[in-house]
Amino acid sequence: MAAIVLDGKQIALEIEEELKVRIANLEDNGVTPCLAVVIVGDDPASHVYVSSKERACARLGIRSIRVDISADAEYGEVVSNVRRLNADPAVNGILVQSPLPNSMDEIAITDLIDPVKDVDGFHAQNLGRLVQGDVSGLLPCTPAGVMRMLESADVDLSGKRAVVIGRSRIVGMPQSILLAQKGVDATVTIAHSRSVEMATLCKEADVIIAAVGISNMVTSDWVKPGSIVIDVGVNRVNDDSEKGYHLTGDVHPDVRRIAGMVSPVPGGVGPMTIAMLMSNTVRATEMQQ
């Protein structure tokens, strides 16, 4: 039987409806949430992501500020912009789009952001709270979006074997902690480029979260029948189309014939990430009142 396809776009719309009520409450108190996005350089994919974040802000009535910095700017220019946004009481959320140029220290920049404005949830203080089991703060958007997606599908993760493929600071590591947290209770394996017998690890999993950035890496022979496969990958594959490329996930489309549930690319985790960013921006604004 074909897998159930988890509709991230639809769940994201439901989250936006909930957020509109909270934004209206803030407006009643004279407060308009404001998200500032800092983007350095001209990586085309990053510009596409930032534009979709701005469009989501516009749909919800969140004010957005975009700070464009050239790739060859001094590191100090990024630092001074983050400091300026930290000090601006009208700015509630700050996000520095990753990746930064190689010459810039991404973690140092993240840790300059005021933790109550850290809508990416990547500041050491916010990640530290997460490791301590406190999930009430600003959580990294993609992993939080995956959790919300699983919750919407009524998936019970307790005692289930989850394999997270990828150990990035943006997805893999925080995702693993969210899956293993008390109350969710999955048994988590973090697989990565040095893991051996990846196919065997995956084949034993009830849940696979693929966040590795390799097009179609997870094939149907890696997947246990009926399992849940969440695809965090967004890979640009060049083709002869007008755009010159199309998007693929980390999970091969044939997996749908074996798995019980899958998330599509596009229309799966991507819209959930943006919805969680909007949610963090509203939460940050509420916390600052």
From the CB of 197, what's the least distance to ligand GUN, in Å? 29
Residue pair 35/256 in contact (Cβ under 8 Å)? The answer is no
Question: Which residue in the set 3, 56, 60, 95 belongs to the binding site for ligand GUN (CB under 6 A)?
Answer: 95
Q: Is 53 a catalytic residue?
A: yes
Cis, peptide link before residue 266, omega less than 30° from 0: yes
CB nearer ligand GUN, residue 95 or residue 177: 95
Question: Which residue in the set 91, 127, 139, 170 belongs to the binding site for ligand GUN (CB under 6 A)?
Answer: 170
Q: Is 125 a catalytic residue?
A: no
CB nearer ligand GUN, residue 34 or residue 96: 96
Q: Is 97 a catalytic residue?
A: yes
CA gap 158, 150 in Å, rounded: 12
Instruction: Write the interaction track for ligand GUN spanning residues 235-264; mark x where CB under 6 A is met and - where it is not.
Output: ------------------------------
From the CB of 187, what's the least distance to ligand GUN, in Å? 26
Contact region with ligand GUN (CB under 6 A), list: 51-59, 93-101, 131-139, 212-220? 93-101
- Four-CA torsion 71, 74, 80, 81, nearest 10 degrees: -10
97: contact with ligand GUN by CB under 6 A: yes
118: contact with ligand GUN by CB under 6 A: no
Question: Which residue in the set 16, 114, 118, 120 belongs to the binding site for ligand GUN (CB under 6 A)?
Answer: 120
Which residue of the chain is nearest ligand GUN when measured via CB?
98
Q: Which residues bind ligand GUN (CB under 6 A)?
A: 95-98, 120, 141-142, 170, 273
Catalytic residues: 53, 97, 120
